[in-house]
């Protein structure tokens, strides 16, 4: 466990709500997303991911975040806004219905203007603390093999890369993980 994460668990914090474990810089506020936020998040996906993978990539990401996440996965998800109500970051995560000891982070995004400022780490730590308090013993997530920023971020956040069926520049890749041509990198991290 890294030092920042130990902050929460070391203090015996047992909140099941990620909002209670989230400390934000001044001017930013956090809340759970609502269905009305679906369109707002969809509107920033392409730009925040830097149009990675071109139009095909933009479409894939849009389809990976349908409205249902803003209807049914809200209590473990977080949305961050600035003082003017502008969207600055979001995390969509949940506990596995089939495996309650497994937490899953489905999507995380930070406005490019705020990237590298610790928001992604704060969102992850708050989610991990709440997931652990809900009984999860490990957290999982995936990313596309081209998203080297995401691979670097998850590595820094203490995730291990699960062995794949091939490697790209030293990164293990699971071919056709989500369907033909939809390769993924798979991450896992234990929770205390
Ligand atoms: C990936 C992302 C969520 C990270 O959020 P962030 O707020 O920029 O990251 P943080 O500033 O909290 O960084 C946390 C740690 O990861 C490292 N890190 C983050 N992005 C990195 C990158 N592109 N390359 C190398 N290291 C990186 C930071 O150096 C930091 O390390 P430290 O805390 O040990 O000093 C954000 O960059 C983003 O939204 N990217 C575009 C969307 C995306 O790819 N989402 C993830 C895939 S679903």
In a domain, 39, yes or no: yes
Full pLDDT tens readout for the chain, 192 residues? 455 455 555 556 678 999 999 999 989 999 999 999 999 999 999 999 999 999 999 999 999 999 999 999 999 999 999 999 999 999 999 999 999 999 999 999 999 999 999 999 999 999 999 999 999 999 999 999 999 999 999 999 999 999 999 999 999 999 999 999 999 999 999 998
pTM of this prediction?
Answer: 0.94
In a domain, 186, yes or no: no
Which residue minimizes the CA distance to atom 10 of ligand 1?
118
In a domain, 114, yes or no: yes
172 in contact with ligand 1, CB cutoff 6 A: no
Helix segments in 1-143, DSSP class H: 3-10, 37-48, 54-64, 68-72, 119-133
What residues make up the domain containing 126? 3-140
- Give Rg (Cα) of the chain: 16
Question: What per-residue confidence (pLDDT) applies to 14?
Answer: 77
**From ligand 1's centre to the CA of 113, what distance in Å?**
12
In a domain, 92, yes or no: yes
Question: What per-residue confidence (pLDDT) applies to 9?
Answer: 59
Which residue minimizes the CA distance to atom 12 of ligand 1?
118
In a domain, 148, yes or no: no
In a domain, 83, yes or no: yes
Atom of ligand 1 nearest to the CA of 123: 12
In a domain, 46, yes or no: yes
Report the CATH number that the domain containing residue 42 is assigned in CATH: 3.40.630.30
Domain count, the chain: 1
**From ligand 1's centre to the CA of 124, what distance in Å?**
11
In a domain, 43, yes or no: yes
Check if the beta carbon of residue 76 is closer than 8 Å to that of residue 131: yes
């Amino acid at each position: 466990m890294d030092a920042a994460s130990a902050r929460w668990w070391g203090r015996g914090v047992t909140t099941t709500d990620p909002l209670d474990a989230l400390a934000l810089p001044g001017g930013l506020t956090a809340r759970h997303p609502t269905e009305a936020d679906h369109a707002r998040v969809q509107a920033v996906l392409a730009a925040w991911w830097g149009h990675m993978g071109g139009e095909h990539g933009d479409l894939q990401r849009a389809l990976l975040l349908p409205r249902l996440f803003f209807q049914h996965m809200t209590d473990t998800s977080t949305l961050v806004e600035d003082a003017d109500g502008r969207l600055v970051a979001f995390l969509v995560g949940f506990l596995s219905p089939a495996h309650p000891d497994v937490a899953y982070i489905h999507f995380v995004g930070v406005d490019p203007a705020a990237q590298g400022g610790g928001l992604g780490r704060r969102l992850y730590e708050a989610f991990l603390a709440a997931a652990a308090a809900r009984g999860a013993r490990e957290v999982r997530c995936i990313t596309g093999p081209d998203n080297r920023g995401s691979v670097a971020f998850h590595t820094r956040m203490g995730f291990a890369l699960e062995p794949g069926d091939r490697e790209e520049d030293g990164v293990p890749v699971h071919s056709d993980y989500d369907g033909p041509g939809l390769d993924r990198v798979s991450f896992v991290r234990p929770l205390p």
